[in-house]
Amino acid sequence: MITTKTSQTRRDCPDIDPRELTLSPKIREECGVFGVYGADNAAATTALGLHALQHRGQEACGIASFDGEKFHTERHLGLVGDAFTGDDPSERLPGHAAIGHNRYSTAGKTVLRNTQPLFADLAAGGFAVAHNGHLTNAFQLREQLVADGAIFQSTSDTEVVVHLVARSKRVQFVNKFIDALRKIDGGFAFVGLTNKELIGARDRQGIRPLIIGKKDDTYMLASETCALDMIDAEVFREVEPGEVVVINESGIEFIRAFPKVPERPCVFEFVYFARPDSIVGGQSVYEVRKKMGQRLAQEVPADVDVIIPVPDSGVPAAIGFAQESGIPFELGIIRNHYVGRTFIQPTQQIRDMGVRLKHSANRKLIEGKRVLLVDDSIVRGTTSTKIVRMIRDAGASEVHFRSASPPIKHPDFYGVDMPNAERLLAANHDLETMNQLLGSESLGFLSIDGLYWAMGIEHRNADFPQFSDHCFTGEYPTALIDFDRKSNGQNPQMSLLVEVA
């Protein structure tokens, strides 16, 4: 796929201030989870793990520990490094077992009651739980539970699972938990903590990731391997799709909660979410991204003087493109690292302002050059438009743009905070129009086959796709119960409470 701009007329996006030549986070993973059993400073270990997973959620974080008798929780808005630095968190959160959570939120001030881990005093004992992903039938289940007298503390879909566990008639805790899992649908990776065990669980098709780590005799659970590297632990293996893992004094036990089905991990872990030094599904994320760039250079080459990555997510693909094409790779966009907490507040206005202050063009390098910008993907296109304009204003003679993933045409329902279809650029425009909107000389996307090739798969299996690639293809791995109910006018009321302080 490639297009060439035929007309010199720049079609203006009137909602973009020409001075806002900046970048903003395009899509956001909703969570990262971590858990450890049998560590001396379980809470400190968890804080380190969460810090390594900070890229998966930056608006709130929390840790729950169990000290043999009591549970302790601490939940904060903001970054792990701000919340859990200073004194050793293990002093406030004692115990040999702990779980933790990083989160993105969508609402403003009311976020704390939704911050995880959630905790409940059940008849079976205390239960803390944290969750990465999204349930596609949470509203339906919540409605049934409330009608039956359940009182929800939060508007989080995670709490549905807690109530299902509380009401399960099974005797053993793990069986109560599996009872609950069998009622929910969607993409999820859970870590749970009871007075006996650390529990992990992954959805039937493995849409969301969960890894088991090991260090000496201690086991951990984490969303990504980079959290294990942080604490110098080894990768043990991934939790299998549909599997429940129980870690306790006796060691580690694996329970199959669901019958085996072909797995379909989310392709966006490779494209955008995972840290480049993580290993996902046995592959180096950095290497996969470089191969996306390499293949992109073959599929949609560009006749330019210099290749500039859109920082920071476009860097590996840009290196791959540069190595394949032989065109020099240069740092044409300088990032200001000193962006304070304020700038990541979730209002659009502040986000825009934050990013306006975040990057600048390296003018001397760009002046008079034909520039190729390489990014990992294009979502709404506002970011790409701003950056094309910034590079042109810095004196580039031509600005070409390449996306190291295919056009995004469909929303996500499994824990990725992506815009509705109406706001997805590629869902509403053809390649030619997108090129005009971006204001670029040419625009190109990686093909679906190119994407699969970079992930090490010869061909996408059209009948049983090897990955959850619904954002590109519209083929969802599960039913979308809540979404369908909503389409039928059943608009769910989560809570009538506006919590001020």
Q: Which residues are catalytic?
A: 31
Largest CA distance in the chain: 73
- Binders of a copy of itself in range 388-447 (CB under 8 A): none
Q: In the complex with a copy of itself, which residue's Cβ is closer, 222 or 365? A: 365
CA dist 258 and 205 (Å) reads 10
> Are 251 and 216 in contact, with CB atoms under 8 Å apart?
no
Does 326 bind a copy of itself (CB under 8 A)? Our answer is: no
Total of chain residues touching a copy of itself, rule CB under 8 A: 92
Residue 411: exposure state from Cβ atoms within 10 A (0-12, 13-18, ≥19):
buried
Residues 362-391 that bind a copy of itself (CB under 8 A): 362-365
Question: In the range 217-276, which residues lie near a copy of itself by CB under 8 A?
Answer: 226, 229-230, 232, 275-276
State how far the Cα of 242 lies from the Cα of 384, in Å rounded to an integer: 38
Please state the φ and ψ torsions of residue 162, each to the nearest 5 degrees: -65, -45
The number of residues in the chain equals 501
Sequence-ordered alpha helix ranges (H) in 105-199? 138-147, 158-167, 173-181
Which of 46, 109, 104, 107 has the alpha carbon at shortest distance from 73? 46
Question: Which residue among 179, 240, 287, 299 contacts a copy of itself (CB under 8 A)?
Answer: 287
Segment 139-158, which members bind a copy of itself (CB under 8 A)?
146-147, 149-153
**Interaction between residue 17 and a copy of itself (CB under 8 A):** no
Task: Output 79 or 408, the one with its CB closest to a copy of itself.
Answer: 79
The HSE-up count of residue 405 (CA atoms within 13 Å, CB side) is 25
> Which window, 160-168, 241-249, 258-266, 481-489, contacts a copy of itself (CB under 8 A)?
160-168
291 binds a copy of itself (CB under 8 A): no
Instruction: Determine contact, residues 59/344, Cβ cutoff 8 Å.
Output: yes
Q: In terms of CB distance, is 423 or 485 closer to a copy of itself?
A: 485
Handedness of CA 63, 249, 198, 261 (dihedral sign): positive
Least distance CB 9 / a copy of itself (angstroms): 25
Min dist. Cβ of residue 389 to a copy of itself (A):
13
Q: Name which of 388 and 443 has its Cβ closer to a copy of itself.
A: 388
Per CB under 8 A, does 122 bind a copy of itself?
yes
Q: To 5 degrees, how large is the angle CA 12–CA 428–CA 401?
A: 60
Residue among 1, 2, 255, 339 that touches a copy of itself (CB under 8 A): 339
Which of 10, 13, 25, 73 is in the footprint of a copy of itself by CB under 8 A? 73
87 is an interface residue for a copy of itself by CB under 8 A: no
